[in-house]
């Protein structure tokens, strides 16, 4: 399975740290965030990686090269300085990703998730990894009911079997999810919600290590935690 690492975000909330360095290259344990992610993927057997980039994207290419040092192949999908958002960015990279389902992962997540264990059912357009709602996102994104992802709670099912959780930025997607999309700038979330509405989105609950490095405070906290 090919992997797409979403690395094109401007990192506005991380300023001024991201004024001169793209967020995926911010160091943790003297190593860029995205390198930790790559090493996890390599340890799980992935060898074909696509990385999109926008703001200061040339720095990402210069830092990672073609992936040779990890014995993988890295391809790049540049989007210009302004970027195409998550949905537009993935659609733009589809020619590099092929016709089969592919893994997507945000470049700014800190996780030990076992990527090689992800499975996409034949009837699903996507499979999402969901996590507990973090303090900065208490309302969550989706409701998980027995491996099915929904937008809202179902009233015909016992509430105890349903959990409102946060999308981790990790998942598997079929190219068909973008069948009706036009090139340009657009988010991924509405496509996922549409798939959930038609019961074509599966998911799983992950309780292991996961952090969204979305603010200078969370980045500083991660740097302290990882040093111990």
CATH number at residue 36: 3.90.550.10
Q: What is the mean pLDDT of the chain?
A: 92
Structural domain including 152 reads: 3-226
Residue 70 has φ and ψ, to the nearest 5°, of -105, 5
What's the per-residue H, E or C state across 104-170? EEECCEEECCCHHHCCCCCCCCEEEEEECCCCCCCCCCEEEECCEEECCCCCCCCHHHEEEEEEEEE
Nearest to 184 by CA among 83, 88, 55: 88
Residue count (the chain): 228
Cβ-based burial of 41 (10 A; exposed 0-12, middle 13-18, buried ≥19): buried
Question: Contact 52/7 with Cβ under 8 angstroms?
Answer: yes
- For the ranges 14-23, 58-67, 89-98, the lowest mean pLDDT is seen at 14-23
Question: In this predicted structure, what is the pLDDT of residue 160?
Answer: 66
Average pLDDT on 194-218 reads 91
Cβ-based burial of 185 (10 A; exposed 0-12, middle 13-18, buried ≥19): middle
**pLDDT tens per residue across span 111-141:** 999 999 998 988 899 999 999 998 888 999 9
Helices (H), 1-127: 33-43, 57-64, 85-97
Asked whether the whole model's pTM tops 0.75, one would answer yes
**Percent of the chain at pLDDT above 90?**
72
For the chain, the domain total comes to: 1
């Amino acid at each position: 399975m090919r992997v797409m690492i979403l690395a094109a975000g401007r990192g506005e909330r991380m300023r001024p740290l991201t004024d001169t360095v793209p967020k995926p290259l911010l160091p943790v344990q003297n190593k860029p965030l995205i390198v930790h992610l790559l090493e996890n993927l390599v340890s799980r057997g992935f060898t074909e990686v696509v990385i999109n980039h926008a703001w200061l994207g040339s720095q990402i290419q210069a830092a990672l090269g073609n992936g040779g040092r990890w014995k993988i192949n890295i391809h790049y999908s540049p989007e210009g300085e302004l970027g195409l958002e998550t949905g537009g960015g993935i659609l733009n990279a589809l020619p590099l990703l092929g016709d089969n389902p592919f893994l997507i992962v945000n470049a700014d997540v800190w996780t030990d998730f076992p990527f090689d264990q992800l499975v996409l059912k034949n009837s699903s357009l996507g499979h999402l990894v969901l996590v507990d709602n973090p303090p900065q996102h208490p309302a969550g994104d989706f409701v998980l009911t027995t491996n099915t992802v929904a937008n809202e709670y179902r009233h015909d099912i016992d509430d105890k079997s349903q959990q409102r959780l946060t999308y981790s930025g990790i998942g598997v997607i079929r190219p068909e999810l973008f069948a009706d999309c036009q090139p340009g700038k657009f988010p991924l979330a509405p496509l996922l919600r549409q798939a959930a509405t038609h019961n074509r989105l599966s998911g799983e609950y992950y309780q292991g290590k996961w952090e969204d490095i979305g603010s200078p405070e969370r980045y500083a906290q991660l740097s302290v935690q990882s040093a111990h």
